[in-house]
A and B are shown apart, each in its own frame.
Chain A
Amino acid sequence: MTEPLSFELSRPAVDPPRLPEADVAGPAPSDVLPHEALRSRPPGLPRLSEPEIMRHYSRLASLNYSISENFYPLGSCTMKYNPVLNEEAAALPGFAGLHPYQEEDSVQGALELMWRLERALCAIVGVERVTLQPAAGAHGEWTALRMIAAFHHSRDDRRTEVLVPDSAHGTNPASAALSGFHVVEVKSGQDGRISLADLESKLSPQTAALMLTNPNTLGLFEREILDIAEMVHATGALLYYDGANLNAFMGICRPGDMGFDAVHMNLHKTFTTPHGGGGPGAGPVGVKSELVPFLPTPTVERTNGHLTLDHKRPQSIGRVRSFYGNFGMLVRAYTYILAMGGDGLGQASQDAVLSANYLRKLVENDLEMPHDGPCMHEFVASAHNLHEDGVRALDVAKALLDRQFYAPTIYFPLVVPEAIMVEPTETESKATLDSFAAAIKEIVAQARTEPQTLHEEPKNLPVGRLDEVAAARKINAYLQGQSEDPILRWKAPSKES
């Protein structure tokens, strides 16, 4: 089942919706603007009635898989249930209706919420201050690196390198490069953790920072973290924490106590703001005192119960986003933290770790486990053992889709061949984890007996495997001017054909 595009459903006979009339005597654009300033023909938007629009999007919605429907074991993405209360809170007119340039005395509630969220995040990760401005995780990473760069510059120290483990998220090296740093890769050891020997050899007076995820992307806690922090700090570099895996240890331990100087958090992972099919999220960054002067402007300050926005911070890296960040997501995260409390957040992380270890145990004889447990909130398996049957991680993923599950993250981290990265989160019940393990067992059995059938999955979804190679070839032809079919957008069929 597929759905036509809105452009294909468009009918010229559809009248535009009823909208307000001007009701004042004023000129039309063509009365006063020069002809060349005016649009020559109307934009090619579709023309559909409201019932047609609602049906179109309802049908599209039915083609989607979501966490509301079932288990979403996407490793590193922390797909946990998004409480519906969060949505109600963000939609309150007292928040949704606020203009960002209203006078400060008319937005005290909003500023208070930001101030309190900042305090709560400080308590959870163990830092001095937090900026709520970054719009997503990668944006937070980059913001943190800009602050780290400013910190070194303020000491007349021109450090040029950022160290990134080979198991890191792709955003880490990209953020470092966009921040003007040269990226140096640090190798993982046999046990899946960062190699201290390799780290030692890469650290130098040029090192501005080490970017680390802990637990790392293999779901393993870097147990030598205190030694790592000491080594990094001894060279005058700072330690950056990638908060993608924060869900592993709320209330158990804190990056600030581990020695991290800057910590980013994904509110759309750990703090249940919905992912929206690819955002909006929010990526606040927490910092220790030495980085506080470099926080983006404005910060939210509170004096005698009165809240203000502080724009005058001479050493600030400046502004990283318009206004104050994704405020609507901040409301959702604050609502979640309030409802959960310190006790609830701690329990959530414990449950997440328990779920991951339980599921890992259930499938440890079906897939390869490249590293010893226990794991934290996620684990990385490998489909390498199915290689001889011609079955790959991709096939396992597609077969899971056919069994009413979303697929785990595959082929990441890059250090594990045929990686299958599973993050169950605290949301899932034992029954769900059992049924997922049963599906894995069924797929592995199928790989042993009729491997070729796995290449044909998924069969039960709106479309089968899509030929991305052919699509890429067509896009190349378009970009090189050899074809007029853009592939990246719809285009009205030309009149001649």
Chain B
Amino acid sequence: MINIYEVLETNDMIEKENLDVRTITLGISLLNCIDSNLGSLNEKIYNRITTVAKELVPTGKAIEKEFGIPVVNKRISVTPIALIGASACKTPEDFVTIAQTLDKAAKATGVNFIGGYSALVSKGMTESDGLLVRSIPKALASTDFVCSSVNLASTKTGINMDAVKLMGEIVHDTAVETADRDSIGCAKLVVFCNAPDDNPFMAGAFHGVTEADEIINVGVSGPGVMRKALESVRGADFGTLCEKVKKTAFKITRVGQLVAREASKRLGIPFGIIDLSLAPTPAVGDSIADIFEEMGLQRAGAPGTTAALALLNDQVKKGGIMASSYVGGLSGAFIPVSEDQGMINAVEDGALTIEKLEAMTCVCSVGLDMIAIPGDTKPSAISGIIADEMAIGMINQKTTAARLIPAIGKGTGETVEFGGLLGHAPVMPVNQFECSSFINRGGRIPAPVHSFKN
């Protein structure tokens, strides 16, 4: 039988170290809503989401009460809307009406984000993909909870550089459209290389076409728990350090697995995957940067940070995979800037730059995340940063992403404020040298060779 010390350990993790289940994300296929009439398409989408997700939020809350662990977010992901709207939408404005329907459905079900306002264009872009992408600035400016993602590249197809160029402009336009709210639209827009079909985390969640009608995916968290656990191995060798990370990741993931199973049973919807990401929040102590400091780096960004992140990411995966048979999504360690107080401090102290963050994305689970850049950064420079990030993902056969926030009207050293889970971010300087002639070439970068690795 469970003993008192085990009970106290678990409850300390929850009460003092911010252990929580970060999200229960309900994936809903909208393929059966497709209609050539825009009005009835919107109606079908609204009805389908509000019917399937009706019990999601109450179920999340009930689980929270019974197990005594916070389930912070309840969210919905849907089939990429570029596919769903292809036959009904003739203009970007038509697509915006779908975004508004998604927003309305999200509000009706009580979730705090709905993902899937997405297009998958890693090789080529259909007319419908193009319309959706062009509608993103208006769609994100006229909704509160809709999240958008665009897959621009993959290891199998290469990088769609036309789409990369276009997304530089779209990111910029989205920032301008929401300039009165510190460009918050860009916090809900992410571009991917190798986007997973079952990611429960926003802003990149969508319900892939390889998925069933409905599925429950759960994202677990716990950077605070990890940092606290590493306190007990201060000064120990790397073998001991790795063992500790692995064991802690195991414990965290087991809780996620329990919640996922329970949510799946109560909602009568199959369980998909656990995403065992260490996802920081702005709460003090719930930080990936603090883990680096506990490992022995003065600040995130110091020499050694990439190695520290590599070992953290890998050991988290090893521990998590042992704890759950179905692991998916992004799984690893997120390194967003705005959502992590330790990372914010590192930027403000001058320890962490975009270039170092880019290097770190070679070994983290996602990419350049929630990074505020000066508002006057040219769209071509944004495309350049995106292209770099896509290249890292393509060559290394991993998911990478970029969520950049051009802070309109603000420059280096100033701060953008989003509040809540999104936190605040110091504006970081961008390399001022030109890349427009490179970006303007157009076309595709071919898929890489999978042999001759060096």
State whether these chains interact.
Answer: no
Query: Residues of A at under 8 Å CB distance from B?
Result: none
Chain B residues in the interface with A (C-beta under 8 A): none
